Each structure stands twice: as structure tokens, then as C-alpha cells.
Amino acid sequence: MCELLAMSANVPTDIVFSFTGLAERGGVTGPHIDGWGITFYEGKGSRTFKDAKPSSESHIAQLIKSYPIKSETVVSHIRQANRGGVSLENTHPFTRELWGRYWTYAHNGQLSNYEEKFVTRRFKAVGDTDSEQAFCWIMDKVVHRFGDVAPQSMSDVFAYIATLADEIRELGVFNMILSDGNDLMFYCSNNLSYITRKAPFGKAKLIDTDVVIDFKKETTPNDVVTVIATRPLTDNEDWYILKPGEWKVFRKGILMFGSESL
């Protein structure tokens, strides 16, 4: 299994605090030592930092922790390999371009008997994980359904992706984070939680390492920041724990639609 972390914010925000907690789970407080990755969107562009080394030992993870990159949308993952060897091509997040946008995806869980289902035409996996094959299958299905141009309403696209995630969940555990840079979708199979922080901001304390942050000092009163994680990262705040099959789409930190609102 692996750990997921993502963020959606209405102003470019650094994720150093949350990433510091997550990175500890990559070899110190957690067993996820088979690589890690993080994608930052900045405008329509994105950049991904990846390493097949444990996040707790990685030089590049040190950079991320010490050099705040401000972003409105972040997708991150630390890996404990089950399907697929430990290598850069098997390290999440995975990215593909569709409709002139970069789509970024990370998966926590394990699937079985997926080989026949995940035969794809246009999007093909580079590595050999079940996760990347599921991503390529979703993207193939989305193109088949909606064509080569983005539809007006993205809510239709994410609602359709949720039905695909329901199908995938029948093959095992499928906690997923997916973003096109504007919207951030997350789908829960068994372990996923989120918190939305807004004014009045308070202090938060990481569970995995001895770090406390006072968000009041780091934010302005208009900031809205939603953080998604496999398990809550702080122990003095109320995280929302998703139910199996539940999904949400956030844009600029705010809930746009999801399984309950449709």
C-alpha cells in the first residue's frame, strides 16, 4: 500500500508542512520506502519531482521540504511496491496530456485480474504497475466517451470517471487522486480523508514528526486550502473521513461536486 497527499487552494500555497509529515511515512514512521513523487501545478504548467529512493532519505525530498514551491494544485504519493518493481517508471504520480491539459494521477491500493480489462489503444503504460494501467484505461475511456475536445461541463467528465472508478474498485482497493490542473478529484475505496482550512486559522500539529505550524501567520483571511491524505496528517484538527465509493471534486480549495451532491 502507499500514501496519497493532495492539495487544492485558492491562492498559490506551499505544501511543505504536509509534505514533511508525509515524507516521514516514507521510511521513518511508515514503511513506504519504494519511491515517492510530487506534482505541482503552476498555471497550466506542471512539474513533477520523483525519486525511486525513500522520501525520508531523498536529496530531492529535502529540496521540496526546504524550498517552498507555491501551487494551487498538488498531487503527491509515497510508494510501498506491490505490483511492479522499484523504479522511476513505476513511481507515481503519472501524467498524460489530454485536451491541452496535463492530467496527473496517483493511486493507493492493489488490483487483481485487471490485465484483460485494462487493454488500451491511445494511452499506454510505460511501467508495469496496475496503477498506471488503470490510469491509461480511464483516459482511454474518457476520450472514447467525450472525444478530442474538452466538453463544456467538466462535472460530466468527473461523474463518468467516478463510474469507471466504481468498476475498478471491483478489482481490489482503489483510492485515487486525479487532477487536470483546475479540478482535483479524489475517490475513496477504503482510506482517504480531507480537511479544508480557512479563516479563522489556527495551529496544527503533525502526527508523524514533531512539527507545529500556526497557519494564522502563513495565510491571509481569504485563503481556502483543502488537503487530502490517506490518513489524517494532524492530530488536533477534524479531518473528514470518506466512505467507500465516495468521491469529491475540489476547485481552488472549494468543493464543486461529488458523489453526494450529484
The catalytic position among 2, 154, 178, 228 is 2
| Contact range with a second copy by CB under 8 A, out of 22-30, 100-108, 210-218, 251-259 | 100-108
Chain CA centroid to CA 33, Å:
18
List CB contacts of 59: < 8 A, sequence separation 6 or more: 51
Check binding of 131 to a second copy (CB under 8 A): no
The answer to whether the beta carbons of residues 108 and 3 sit under 8 Å apart is yes
What are the start-end ranges of the H helices in 107-232? 130-146, 154-169, 215-218
The answer to whether the beta carbons of residues 237 and 17 sit under 8 Å apart is no
Check binding of 101 to a second copy (CB under 8 A): yes
Q: Nearest distance from residue 245's CB to a second copy, in Å?
A: 30
Is residue 2 annotated as part of the catalytic site, yes or no? yes
Q: Kindly tell me which residue out of 48, 82, 110, 190 binds a second copy, with binding defined by CB under 8 A.
A: 48
d(CA 206, CA 125): 35
d(CA 69, CA 161): 29
Q: Kindly tell me which residue out of 17, 102, 187, 201 binds a second copy, with binding defined by CB under 8 A.
A: 102
Check binding of 42 to a second copy (CB under 8 A): yes
Q: Kindly tell me which residue out of 126, 241, 254, 262 binds a second copy, with binding defined by CB under 8 A.
A: 126
Interaction site with a second copy (CB under 8 A): 42-50, 52, 59-60, 63, 67, 87-91, 95-102, 121-127, 148
Active site residue ranges: 2
